[in-house]
Amino acid sequence: MKFDSAKIENLVENSFEMNNNVSALEEIISEVVNDIVPSETKLKKKIEMIDSTVEYLNYELLVTFIKQGVEFGIFPIIAKYHPKLEEIPSLVKYPNKQFILDYIKTALKLGILKYDDDKIKINDDFELTIKMPKFDKIISDYVMKYNFITHVSRYALISYNHPKIAISFKKDPDIWDMILSSPYYAFCREIASDYLKIGGEDYILDVGCGSRSPKYFMDIVYPKGYYMGVDISKGLLQIAESRIKRLYHDSYDLKNIDFNEVIPKEKYDYVICTHTMKYAPSLKQFLNNMVSSIYSGGKIFISEEFIVGKNENIYKDVFEFYNRLNKRFVGYYSEKDIVDALKSLGYEFKIDRLGNGILVIEKS
C-alpha cells in the first residue's frame, strides 16, 4: 500500500488526461445504470464508495506518514538519542522547525511515538492492522489528491510557503478545479441533489461552491429556481462563471465572500456545504449563518470525508496533519460538536445521517 512519491507528477498529470478521454464512456455507462438501477440503490452505492475510499485512504496515509518519519530522519534520530521534545528540532537539520514539531506531536497522538518520563521514544508496541479494502469501491482519483498532498509535504520541511505546496484555494485555482472534477466530488453533488430531491423551483445556497458545483446545480434549478454560490477563491468563481454564463443569463449569482463573516440576506430551500466545514474557524458562527439562511423545513447538506466518531477506524490526526498544509484548514468536527453548537444557538432541528461523512440538518 506504499506509494512511490517520486512518480507523483506524472501520475497526477496522466490521471487528469485520462479523465477527459473516458468522460464520454462514463456518460454512456451512467445513462444505462440510470435506466436499470433504482435511485435509492444508486444513492447507497455512491455513499458506500465514498466511505470505502476514505477508509482506504486512512490506511495509506498512515503508512505514508510512518514512511516519511524514516525518510525525514525523524525516527532514526529519536531511536538513537531518545530526546526531549524541545531538543528534536535542533537534531533534525531542516529549516521549518514548526513542521517538525507538528509531525512529532501527530506521531505522539497516533501512538507511534511515546513519552518515557520527559523523553520521546519509538513505541515498539505500536501495531497497525490494515483491513483489506473493497477495491471495486475505491474512487482512485481521490486517492491521487492525497498522494499529491503527501508528496508536496516534503517541501514543508523548508517552508510552509514553499511554491511547490500548490494547494491554496486563492493561489492555485487551476489545481483545485482539476481536483473538484473528480468522480468523488461529483458523487457528493449527486448525493446532495438526489437525497434532497432538488427540483426546478428550488432556491439553493452553495457554501464553498468551487468551480464545478455551480453548473451542476444550475442545470437542475434553471429557469424557475435560483442558485447562489459563495467561495473565498476568486479564481475558482471565475472558472465557474466561464462555464455557466454562456448557458444561463440569470437565476444565479456567484459571490467572492468569506461565509464565516457574511450572513446572506435571502432565504433558501437548501444549503449545500461540501468539504467546507473543516475550514470554519468558528463552527457556531458558520452553522448559524447556514441555518439562518433557510426557511423552516429547509435542509442543510453537510459532507466531509468523515464526521469525527462515525468510524472508529479513522485516524483523524493523520488526515489533519496533511490538511494543515492548507493554511485555512481548522479541523474535522464531530456530530456532537454540531449538535451542541446548534442547541446553544437555540435552534430546533433534526439530523439524518448518511454513511460516515454526511449529515443532513432539517430546520424545524
C-alpha cell recorded at residue 119: 523523553
101-159 residue pLDDT tens: 999 999 999 999 999 999 999 999 999 888 888 889 999 989 999 999 999 999 999 99
Contact 114, 82 (CB under 8 A): no
Q: Using the predicted structure, report yes or no on whether residue 254 has a pLDDT greater than 60.
A: yes
Question: For residue 133, what pLDDT is reported?
Answer: 83
pTM assigned to the model: 0.88
Domain edges within the chain: 39-157, 186-310+325-363
Share of the chain above pLDDT 70, in %: 89
Please give the Cα distance from 273 to 30 (Å, whole number): 25
Tell me the H-state helices in the chain. Answer: 8-36, 39-71, 74-81, 88-91, 97-110, 140-152, 173-180, 183-196, 213-221, 234-244, 283-291, 316-323, 335-344
Q: Using the predicted structure, report yes or no on whether residue 5 has a pLDDT greater than 50.
A: no
Question: For residue 12, what pLDDT is reported?
Answer: 40
Classify domain 39-157 by CATH number.
Answer: 1.10.10
239-251 residue pLDDT tens: 999 999 989 989 9
Phi and psi for 315 in degrees, rounded to 5? -90, 85
Fold of 186-310+325-363: Rossmann fold (3.40.50)
Question: For residue 65, what pLDDT is reported?
Answer: 98
Higher pLDDT pick, 266 / 165:
165
Q: Average pLDDT for residues 236-261, to the nearest whole number? A: 93
23-47 residue pLDDT tens: 555 555 555 555 556 688 999 999 9
Kindly indicate the confidence band of residue 196, based on its pLDDT and cuts at 50, 70 and 90: very high
Q: Using the predicted structure, report yes or no on whether residue 17 has a pLDDT greater than 70.
A: no
